[in-house]
Amino acid sequence: MKQLNFCIKTAAVALLLINGAFVNAQVTIGSQNAPDGNALLDLRQNTVDSLSTKGLLFPRVALTNTNSYAPLTAHVKGMTVYNMATAGDVTPGIYVNDGTKWVAMNTEPWNLAGTSNRATLNTQNIYQKGNVGIGDFSTATPAAFLDIETGGTAATPNPTGFKLVDGNQFAGKVLTSDSNGTGTWVAAGVGIIMGNLPTSGVNLPWITRGASKDYQYTGSYIDLPEGIWQVNVTMMLHPDHRVGTGVPLQAGDWLWLRTSFSDSSEIDPAASTAEIESPDITSTGRRISGRLNGPTIDNAPSLPFYVYDVLQGNIVIENKSGGVKRYYYIAGWTNCAPDLDSSVSNLVVLNFGGNAYGEDQIYAINFSTITKTE
């Protein structure tokens, strides 16, 4: 009896295949249930809830390129296959032919962050290795990781390409970033940072110092965040009389004083100029220098005649440390006439670098428009 039933079923299947070209009815395969009214072919298992535990296995082929119909003999619109190969511009996956080329059904270009797997949810963190273009790139290629083209020109701008709403946005603000590249909106303008000056600075002797090792730390400093800064210095030059002699500054006396900034408050006598002065100084002029001149005529000791002068200038410092860095104001490396040996009573410049007289200052201006060096 079992052999008879098998023969009957085999004959029925053979008859269906032989006459398949003439069958116009809808068909269910895998179940005795009627097919869905909208389906020509309904694949399902004969289960109570109509849910299947098996799937449809597409024909597996090795495509060579989306523009090539191979291994078929022609492009056939609607043809569906599972590609097994990685070649040309195809990778493994389901492809549908549109009549002129193969189109991948899984077109998700984004990967799940931290993996090489494709993203599947719009709540996942994602990434892409290629450049991303926003706008019309039908005839162009994005030139950066994120390339926004609004179609605007100098004659007809179209300022609709970018919007960041983070709570700091406001008319007239500019976009800036921290050391990690995180951007936000800040008020436009020039940032100014004031230096710190002690009440008393240092007394500089009236002696020719022929090397930068004679720099002294003045006690003044300025703390600068990362960025490019123009550091401005104004210091009063206040000469004292020749100590012990009561003789004031004389006609023809002069002193040339050099100042700069160092990364350390400790000056190494054996260090070179390049080692003492901060390497973050990027301006051509690395020092702020000034000259103190004597009077035009000599004055009797009983009539002391003191002259004053101002040392003033600026240098550019670029802090690349990634945080706030302290720069120490140093002074020295002098040339003068007459050259008074330190063993005798000599003229000095009093309290240089301090703010004992309320006339000295150090401040820095941030220049966000200056191109940073690499």
pLDDT above 50: residue 244: no
Amino acid at 40: L
Domain-wise residue ranges, the chain:
2-43, 192-366
Amino acid at 156: T
Q: Which two tokens stand for residue 31?
A: 């179940």
Tell me how many degrees the CA angle 170-194-314 measures, rounded to the nearest 5.
105
| Helix, strand or coil, per DSSP, at residue 273 | helix
Q: What pLDDT, on the 0 to 100 scale, is given for residue 245?
A: 53
CATH architecture of 192-366: Sandwich (2.60)
Mean predicted lDDT score pLDDT of the chain: 81
Q: Which two tokens stand for residue 3?
A: 């052999």
User: What average pLDDT score do residues 254-268 get?
Assistant: 91
Q: Is the pTM of this model over 0.85?
A: no
HEC states along 249-304? CCCCCEEEEEEEEECCCCCCCCCCHHHHCCCCECCCCCCEEEEEECCCCCCCCCCC
Of residues 290 and 31, the one with the higher pLDDT is 290
User: What average pLDDT score do residues 106-111 get?
Assistant: 75
Q: Rounded CA gap, 216 and 188, in Å?
A: 38
Q: Which two tokens stand for residue 255?
A: 């002193």
pLDDT above 80: residue 236: yes
